[in-house]
Amino acid sequence: MPVLQKLKEYNLLSTAEAQTLSSAYCFLRDVEHRLQMENNLQTHTIPAERKARERLAALMGFASLREFENALRRHTRNVRGNFEALFKAEKPAPPRPLPPDFAGREAEWSRLLSDHSFSDGTQSLRLIETFALGPGYVHVSPRTVDLALQLLARMFALCPKRHSSGKLSLPANALSDPDRVLARLDSYISAYGARAMLYETWTSNPSLFELLLLLFDRSEFLAEVAIRTPDLVDELELSGFLRRRKSAGEILRDLRHGRDDKDQRLWLRRYHQAELMRIGLRDILGLADFEQNLEELSALADACLQYALEVVLRKSKRKAPPFVIVGLGKLGGAELNYGSDLDIIFVAVSKTKNLSALQGLAAQIMDLLSSPTEFGVAFVTDARLRPDGEKGLLVNTLDAYEDYYRRRAMLWEIQCLTRARPIAGDMKTGDQFQRLAATLASFTPENVAAGFSLRGTPAKPAPRRAQRNLKDAATEPGSGLAAYRADWKDEIARMRSRIEKERTPSGKNDLAIKTGTGGLVDAEFIAQTLCLAHGWQEPNTLRALQLARERAALPRASSDSLIENYRKLLRIEGILRRWSFEAEAVLPDKPAPLYRVAIRCGFTCAEGLMKALGEYRSAIRKVYHQVIKQSIP
């Protein structure tokens, strides 16, 4: 029973399925006990004699044998149905007219490759022949060749098929680039080495083979990781770890198993790559929805920051963390995407005296995560959002942060505070920073009139006109916050306009899904503007938009449209970034790669993708105008 509960928690069973199985388990266990008590034997077989079955039915509390047998059939049918759904038998590979050999059949193979969307027939034919017959300097048994042809049939079943009429049909999970997948498959087999054993494994577990094909098609970055460590995908799939969702705490516990490794940078990167593979495969296979995916990527970052802090503290022989690491941007919102940098700041308690000694500790944490190694980096860390940017101290006190924000910060820096979240270290100081951020990033009339004063500290006098009423106070420059101005929404609109003009490549607005018109930045600015206007401290963009809907800060129809289209656009960005794990925000402008992106996003053609994107972005921009109430030129 506890296992069934765990399966429900891990989303392997729905609540209804878990309840059905629990009920069936209790019923069948009761039947087992009645049988064994009646016969004083360890038996699991219901007797064939009618009288014995009638007695069993009566012992089970049923009025008739028919009622008992109906209940028995219902429970066993439910158990079998759930079993088959969870451990469904692999379907045999669909019959394909594959030529039985290669010599003299080159033209037949070439037609087959062309019909299945391979663009380089000559190179692909060479790789397919190598896949089946080996590289030429080793003997391949007839059994291995036969298995290879079965596996090729499975691969062809995932390829877009062009019919004689010219129409293209796409199977579920269609491969966007069969040529590249085949090339990556060849590299993987070479790295693995044991061709015959590999083919036996894939044939007995076809889902593992198809998982690799999808991996090679959906992510160049993860394909490279798989080729460098060919056992990794097998271990994740066969161990069941792909179906596990991990919290930051669970990841941190895993990381601590490597605390005695001599090279902590290498340990962090090896673990980080394994986790990225697990998270990426869960995404590719649809085992986690995209919002869960962002949460898991963020949990990985949280755990890596905490672990890096622990490593540095042990090295410096410190027992307590001397500062808190605060996340901003996507890290603060727990909405990291593939390839996202970690925007962080280091805040020390106000009474800290020897700040210079702390600068090196913060630098070591960043180096532990960001310095390049043979395994790349774990995360790129960026502390430039601190006061005075690169010229400012890497670690500063809470009082220094407050003084900077109140006196010298620009509006965009206050806007950044809407996405602040303490991650690791001195969480008491983190709570104090969060309280400061909540106060300074609240442009409600009440807070403006109070001079952006922290609760429990005397408020500076509001301007005279502000004393008339709170509504008038919100139109005056904010006493206690130099960045505040009555027309702050206009300033935010101007900032958004600059981003659109300066960060969108010339002539590529339609392709710029982040910075272009109606792009992701529109939705982020909407969320941050609403948080400022209403005094909400909700760093996650989607949850801030949902909060606006719950509290009727926007018309219901506008909220629904915004949330729906933001989710769709965010998903496409994730698919784009999953390919390279780079901060890609502009779609390719050449037809072939744009088509491949479209297929990965579930569209049948590039035109369908671009039409849908236009609709998503138009809907987002419409709500942006409602919130900002100013058209961008």
Same domain flag for 462 and 410: yes
The CATH number of the domain holding residue 595 is: 1.20.120.330
How high is the pLDDT of residue 87?
60
Tell me the pLDDT tens digit for each residue of 391-432: 999 999 999 999 999 999 999 999 999 999 999 999 999 999
How high is the pLDDT of residue 313?
97
Instruction: Assign 137 to helix, strand or coil.
Output: coil
Tokens describing residue 509: 């607005």
Residue 245 lies in a domain: no
Same domain flag for 529 and 605: yes
Same domain flag for 45 and 160: no
Q: At 633, which amino acid appears?
A: P
**By C-alpha distance, which of 386, 393, 502, 475 is closest to 433?**
386
Same domain flag for 67 and 119: no
Domain span at residue 60? 2-86
Query: The whole model's pTM is what?
Result: 0.79
Indicate the residue among 159, 189, 218 that finishes a domain. Answer: 218
Burial class of 327 by CB neighbour count within 10 A (0 to 12, 13 to 18, 19+): buried
Tell me the pLDDT tens digit for each residue of 424-474: 999 999 999 999 999 999 999 999 999 999 864 443 433 443 334 434 444
**By C-alpha distance, which of 632, 447, 429, 631 is closest to 537?**
447
Same domain flag for 469 and 492: no
How high is the pLDDT of residue 457?
46
How high is the pLDDT of residue 95?
47
Residue 250 lies in a domain: no
Angle between helices 290-315 and 556-580 (to 10 degrees): 60
Residue 223 lies in a domain: no
Same domain flag for 38 and 119: no
How high is the pLDDT of residue 51?
82
Residue 189 lies in a domain: yes
- Phi, psi angles (nearest 5°) of residue 373: -135, -175
Domain count for the chain:
4
Tell me the pLDDT tens digit for each residue of 229-265: 988 988 888 778 888 899 999 999 999 999 999 999 9
Which runs of consecutive H residues, i.e. helices, occur in 134-286?
142-157, 178-192, 195-204, 206-218, 220-228, 231-239, 248-256, 264-284
Q: Within a 13 Å sphere around the CA of 354, how many CA atoms are in the beta-carbon half?
A: 5
How high is the pLDDT of residue 96?
52
Spans of the chain, pLDDT less than 50 = 89-95, 456-478, 630-633
Indicate the residue among 189, 218, 247 that finishes a domain. Answer: 218
Residue 276 lies in a domain: no
Residue 31 lies in a domain: yes
How high is the pLDDT of residue 88?
55
Tell me the pLDDT tens digit for each residue of 526-548: 999 999 999 999 999 999 999 99
The CATH number of the domain holding residue 429 is: 3.30.460.10
Same domain flag for 545 and 410: no
How high is the pLDDT of residue 588?
94
Neighbours of 126 (CB within 10 A): 14
Same domain flag for 580 and 440: no
Same domain flag for 319 and 441: yes
Same domain flag for 116 and 72: no
Same domain flag for 322 and 468: yes
Indicate the residue among 473, 507, 529 that finishes a domain. Answer: 473
Residue 244 lies in a domain: no
Same domain flag for 392 and 535: no
How high is the pLDDT of residue 455?
66
